[in-house]
């Protein structure tokens, strides 16, 4: 590496002198008279160093001693006296330009990149971290489970957290074994009401943690909480745990044209205003063409009050962006990536062509 760096420095110095002398023949002559500097020698040295440092084979590779031929390309550059700095000077110092040829390099023609290129696993990146994907939750009008939490230790405790013991109503007769893991979640009691239309969208389903079975009886099992995202309580639901399959996309993929609009209806955490980093839910999903990785502008179209006290419709203003984490049939989960001001339930969303 040190040798390569030294050669690069040497190339820069040699090329600097060569170009300066080519532009000013009087300077070159003075240097030659004083120190025996030969312009042709300088250029040839620069070629030799460049051939080692660069390795040759590039489209703009220039090599000496070859006829211009049909493959030669005019550099389109000229210096004083009509001499092209990319033309060499003969070793004899006669001032006659040495013949140089532009060597044919790689083919610059190309075809549009296909889906296989953008689906290459080596280029794809997770759209969010596994933990955010796993804990983001969703809105659904129906929930399926494999069982529920029925008790915990101690009995007097209402909520349980990391490393504490709970009991599940599933055991050996349901196929549970020591080491089995379950995702614990709950469906909120109150349904989500659309902030604009008033329609019932379903219930928020939120993730509470992960438990691992340590002891198994015929119809129940004893488990330890190995990951806690929220307090786990009796009556919380369980499903057999699988590693999160986070969607992966090539960040350089072409942006698909879509015409999708909807509303931001609520957030994962109970709060009034939302900002960057908050997980939120939309009233549009797969049926509208929403996919993980889609980006939406968040648009403020709230009513505004005039000086005379009259309330009128405000002009649409983009106040943030959000990226979709997951999508169900009629709803989707996203996280806010940028926010310029407070964002609220009922703000409009519009598909954006940015990533």
pLDDT exceeds 60 at position 60: no
pLDDT exceeds 50 at position 70: no
- 2-6, 66-70, 308-312: lowest mean pLDDT where? 66-70
- 151-160, 252-261, 336-345: lowest mean pLDDT where? 252-261
The pLDDT, as a whole number, for residue 124 is 73
102-126 pLDDT, tens digit per residue, is: 445 555 555 555 556 556 666 678 9
Residue 7: name the closest of 58, 45, 61, 57 by CA. Answer: 45
Instruction: Give the pLDDT band of residue 77 (cuts 50, 70, 90).
Output: very low
Cα distance between residue 169 and residue 149, in whole Å: 7
Q: Tell me the average pLDDT across 325-335.
A: 97
Q: Mean pLDDT, the chain, as a whole number?
A: 80
119-150 pLDDT, tens digit per residue, is: 666 667 898 999 999 999 999 998 999 999 99
The pLDDT, as a whole number, for residue 352 is 94
- Which position has the higher pLDDT, 127 or 75? 127
The pLDDT, as a whole number, for residue 140 is 95
Max avg pLDDT among 17-26, 279-288, 303-312: 279-288
**Which regions of the chain carry the CATH code 2.40.10.340?**
251-352
What are 157-164's contacts with CB under 8 Å, separation 24+?
158/233, 158/234, 159/231, 159/232, 159/233, 160/225, 160/231, 160/232, 160/233, 161/209, 161/225, 161/228, 161/231, 161/232, 162/209, 162/225, 162/226, 162/227, 162/228, 163/224, 163/225, 163/226, 164/224, 164/225
Q: Tell me the average pLDDT across 234-258.
A: 89
The pLDDT, as a whole number, for residue 252 is 74
Q: What percent of the chain has pLDDT over 90?
A: 58
- Which position has the higher pLDDT, 237 or 249? 237
310-322 pLDDT, tens digit per residue, is: 999 889 999 999 9
pLDDT exceeds 50 at position 90: no
The pLDDT, as a whole number, for residue 112 is 59
Cα distance between residue 237 and residue 279, in whole Å: 22
- The second-level CATH assignment, the architecture, of 251-352 is Beta Barrel (2.40)
pLDDT exceeds 50 at position 242: yes
Q: Could you tell me how far CA 42 lies from the centroid of its own chain?
A: 47
Cα distance between residue 113 and residue 118, in whole Å: 8
């Amino acid at each position: 590496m040190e040798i390569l760096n030294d050669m690069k420095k040497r190339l820069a110095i040699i090329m600097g002198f060569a170009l300066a002398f080519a532009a000013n023949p009087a300077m070159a002559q003075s240097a030659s008279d004083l120190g025996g500097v030969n312009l042709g020698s300088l250029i040839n040295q620069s070629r030799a160093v460049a051939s080692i440092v660069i390795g040759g084979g590039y489209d703009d590779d220039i090599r000496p001693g070859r006829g211009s031929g049909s493959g030669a390309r005019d550099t389109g550059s000229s210096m004083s006296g009509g001499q092209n700095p990319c033309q060499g000077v003969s070793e004899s110092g006669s001032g006659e330009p040495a013949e140089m040829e532009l060597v044919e390099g790689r083919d610059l023609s190309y075809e549009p990149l296909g889906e296989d290129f953008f689906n290459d696993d080596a280029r794809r990146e997770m759209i969010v971290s596994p933990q955010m994907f796993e804990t983001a939750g969703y809105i659904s009008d129906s929930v399926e489970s494999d069982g529920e939490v029925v008790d915990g230790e101690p009995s007097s405790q209402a909520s349980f957290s990391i490393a504490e013991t709970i009991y599940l109503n599933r055991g050996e007769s349901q196929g549970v074994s020591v080491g089995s893991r379950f995702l614990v979640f709950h469906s909120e009691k109150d349904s989500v009401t659309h902030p604009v239309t008033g329609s019932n969208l379903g219930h928020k389903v939120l993730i509470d943690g992960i438990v691992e079975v340590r002891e198994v009886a015929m119809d129940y099992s004893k488990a330890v909480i190995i990951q806690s995202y929220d307090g786990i309580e009796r009556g919380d639901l369980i499903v057999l745990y699988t590693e999160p399959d986070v969607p992966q996309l090539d960040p350089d993929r072409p942006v698909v044209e879509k015409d999708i609009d909807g509303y931001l209806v609520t957030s994962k955490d109970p709060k009034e205003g939302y900002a960057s980093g908050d997980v939120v839910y939309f009233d549009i999903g797969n049926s509208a063409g929403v996919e993980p990785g889609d980006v939406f502008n968040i648009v403020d179209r709230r009513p505004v009050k005039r000086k005379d006290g009259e309330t009128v419709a405000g002009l649409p203003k983009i106040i943030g962006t959000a990226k979709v984490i997951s999508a169900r049939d009629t709803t989707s989960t996203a996280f806010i990536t940028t926010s310029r001001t407070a964002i609220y339930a009922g703000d409009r969303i519009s598909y954006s062509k940015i990533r």
